[in-house]
Structure 1
Amino acid sequence: MVPAPVVLGLDFGGTKIALAVGDLTGRRLGARTIDSRADSRVDSHDGSGGAAAALARGLAAAHELLSEVAPGQELAGVGAATLGIPYDDRVELAPTFPGWGELPFGRLVRDAFPGVPVRLATDVKAAAAAELRWGALASCDPGLYLNLGTGLAIAIVAGGTVITGAHGASGEIGYNLRSPADVYVDEGRRTILEHVVSGQALETTGSTRLGRAVTAADVFTMARTDRDAAVLTDEFVRELAMHLANLTIAVDPARIVVGGGLVRSWDQIETGLRRALAAAVPFPPELSVARFPSDAPLIGALALGVEAAGAALGEEAFA
């Protein structure tokens, strides 16, 4: 009996690389996580060396995982998700990982798995793909996936697919203008939304205004009892709510699902978002936490791998 084919999912983040092997339904057969920046000396002294080494470690770990959990089985598809917007010859909008933008990302992934169909996506679009195929956005048209993590972005689901945009950059609301004063001002000379509304922004602002080093999670925890922290989280949620309400008016989604690390503080975020949607949107959508709030990009990478395999093998392979 010929062993069943498998798919591979790769999620390249700024601090960790997550890998998983699954069957053609996306069921995980094995997984592994490694550090993105194992050699900080290389990262700090070579513009792209640390990034190249991280990618090489991830691809090597993927081959090891395949050998361990699926020896002798055909690799039918690979899905690769990453911070930034991936192309075959580069990654755009990935400033938090020095050198990552210069890597020929897609080409290196394809070279690592010759002859295997590969699909690429941003981490947030991969997360939305997971929610669309197996999660809270299934049969939802249109829908929004809101990622509240280190950064800020959304993904739009419509017509049974995740909308990519002309350059793969749809949903990059972290670059949104924040006021009329920002109009005509280049990005480098204004404060973009992600610099105010994101986990990294809340950590930076909180550490400055609260007088000690804190994480975004610390700020939300402190906000339950500390007035200054409560002001910070109220500002955070209010500005997020404004942009989410405007986007909802434009798209008219049936449902919004929220994922990312900050959903751990959902009870402090949900009320403000619901209040804004109810007040501003003609037809307020459903609002909930995503089915896969923390590891959706990896599950989404598996979903991309399943899609790549399906296109190559034909639907009969999935019957």
Structure 2
Amino acid sequence: MPSTPHAETFPAPTPAVSQVFTTVLSHGPLTRLEAGRRAGLSPAAVTKAVRPLLAAGYLAEDADEDARPTPGRPATLVRVNGERALFLGVKVTGTELIAVLTDLCCRIRLDRRRPLPDRAPGAVLTSIAGLVQELLAHAAESDAPVAGLGIAVSGDVDRAEGVVRYSPFLDWRDVPLAELAATTTGLPVTVDNDVRALTVAEQWFGAGAGLAGFALVTVGAGIGCGLVVHGQVVAGAHGVAGEIGHVVVDPAGPECHCGNRGCVEAIAGESAIVARMREVTGRQVDDSAQAVALAHEGVPGAREVYARAGEAIGRGIATVANLLGPERVIISGEGLAAYDLFAGRIRQAFTAAAFGSAARCDVLTRPLPFEQWARGAAAVAIQSFITQPPGIGQG
């Protein structure tokens, strides 16, 4: 595996430089005045932060054609030069890898998928290396350096250490994935929980842009939750903040793989729904698509399975709203294919369990394909790149 085409270091990644760059990345093009207002920085601080970014080509200036004519220097806008650097993002599921090549603005240039027949760490690393090799070949057609690789994995992931502490769908424990992938690919690597990575992308470019606080709840094989509080993605002291899937909503409910009973995930996760559907209907149900079909066909008891799942999700979301008071809850994930079956019960349970004005939280659905999750992995690689002190590798 070749090393990155060019060694690349972000210029002077002080907090102010990173803050201004992220502000322009999410909301630009902006005037310096508006960038300072959004970032909470003085004009002098913005000017100082912008200077090295312009010199290194990470920001560019354009005339503000909509500005009113004023005496003196004409108004200019600063924008991120997306062509300045490239990034790779890989989303790891239990059955396949999804990879993307993005520019510095996290716009997808190319995406690839590869089946994952073997979940052992060594086999997964070999598959990741093959995908990276393929995307690097395309990146070589550009003069821009590939400045980082992000990998998104479900479960308990310690981003600071680059270690997957526990991933139930891969059956991994304490895998130093960032170190292994960096050695294999020659790239700086950032590893994060897949839902947190998607949350970063939604905060910068999606339905969470401009919000000081929101929650992203994902429904699928597991039930995940990413949290943004006061403009920051929250990981918690041990990297497991937002584990809504393991909020207990029914102490007498089914056993969860975490060891507790009645967790949201034990009721509303795909495997839980499939198992419950077999039990209730007496039919052979092998996957979620068959479970959805039975519910749509009106098989007795099938819709109640989804109603029960919706109630568990609604209660879990209400717990988040009561504790943190987010402006918005975004519901996404592959489980949205069945959203019509449990949407009403989610809303009912949320409204009933949310305390006071927490019930006014905006709840919206946003179907996102796995390529967008891989884009989230690229987003955390960009985030690491613009905040990492010079000379220190990610992961």
TM over 0.5: yes
Query: Taking CA–CA contacts closer than 8 Å with sequence separation of 6 or more, which of the two structures ends up with the larger relative contact order?
Result: 1
**Residue 285 of structure 2 corresponds to residue 213 of structure 1:** yes
Equivalences for residues 300-311 of structure 1 within 5 A: 300-311=376-387
Deviations 1:142-161 (A, max 9, x none): 10100101011111112222
Per-residue CA distance 1:35-74 (angstroms, 9 max, x = gap)? 122x5xxx6xxxxxx3311122112321221112434541
Tell me which amino acid in the other structure corresponds to 1:229. A
Amino acid at match of 2:311: R
What CA RMSD, in Å, does the superposition of the two structures yield over aligned residues? Answer: 2.7
Relative to the length of structure 1, the TM-score reads 0.84
Q: How far has the Cα of 1:256 moved from its partner?
A: 0.6
Q: 2:269 aligns with which of 164, 178, 198?
A: 198
Following TM superposition, by how much is the alpha carbon of 1:21 offset from its aligned partner in structure 2, in angstroms? 0.9
Q: 1:186 and 1:205, CA in 2 relative to 1: closer, same or farther beyond 3 A?
A: closer
Corresponding residue for residue 308 of structure 2 = 235
The correspondence of residues 32-181 of structure 1 with structure 2, limited to 5 A, is 32-37=112-117, 39=118, 50-71=120-141, 73-87=144-158, 88=161, 90-98=163-171, 100-114=172-186, 116-179=187-250
Change (3 A) 1:291 1:129: farther
Distance 2:150 2:162 in 1: 17
Among the aligned pairs, what percent are the same residue? 23
2:345 is aligned with 1:265: no
Instruction: Report the AA paired with residue 35 of structure 1.
Output: P
Pair 1:4 & 2:74 matched: no
Tell me how far apart the structure 2 counterparts of residues 75 and 294 of structure 1 sit (CA, whole Å).
Answer: 22
CA distance in structure 2 between the aligned counterparts of 1:254 and 1:18, rounded to whole angstroms:
31
Q: Deviation of residue 117 (structure 1)?
A: 4.0
The alpha-carbon deviation at position 89 of structure 1 amounts to 6.5
Distance in 2, matches of 1:159 and 1:297, equals 23
Stretches of structure 1 lacking an aligned partner (at least 5 in a row): 44-49, 315-319
Shift of 1:293: 5.3
Asked whether the 8 Å contact 1:206–1:214 carries over to 2, the reply is no
Change over 3 Å in CA distance of 1:267–1:293 after alignment to 2: farther
User: What 5-or-longer segments of structure 2 have no aligned partner?
Assistant: 1-56, 58-82, 391-395
Distance 1:186 1:234, change over 3 A: closer
How far, CA to CA, are the matches of 1:33 and 1:186 in structure 2?
28
Counterpart of 1:61, as a letter, is L
Are the structure 2 counterparts of residues 95 and 278 from structure 1 closer, same or farther at C-alpha, using a change threshold of 3 Å?
closer
Cα deviation, residue 90, structure 1: 3.8
Contact (CA 8 Å) 2:129, 2:185: kept in 1 or not? no
- TM-score relative to the length of structure 2: 0.69
Contact residue 14 and residue 97 of structure 1 kept, 8 A: yes
- Aligned pair 1:254/2:327, yes or no? yes
Q: Deviations over 1:225-245 (max 9, x none)?
A: 223101111111112212221
Cα deviation, 1:124-151, whole Å, max 9, x if unaligned, reads: 1111111111111111221010010101
CA distance in 1, matches of 2:217, 2:208: 12
- Cα distance, 1:174 vs. partner? 2.2
CA distance in 2, matches of 1:89, 1:292: 25
SS at match of 2:167: coil
CA offsets, 1:251-291, max 9 Å, x none?
A: 11111101111112222232222223333322221111126
d(CA) in 2 for partners of 1:57 and 1:187? 28
The one-letter code matched in structure 2 to 1:202 is I
Higher gyration radius (CA): 2
- Between Structure 1 and Structure 2, how many residues are aligned? 299
**Alignment partners' CA distance in 2, 1:187 and 1:260:** 21
Per-residue deviation, residues 198-251 of structure 1 (Å, max 9, x unmatched): 112111221233221242233233223223101111111112212221221111
| Secondary structure of the corresponding residue to residue 226 of structure 2 | strand
1:281-307 deviation line (CA, Å, top 9, x unaligned): 222211111263554321211211222
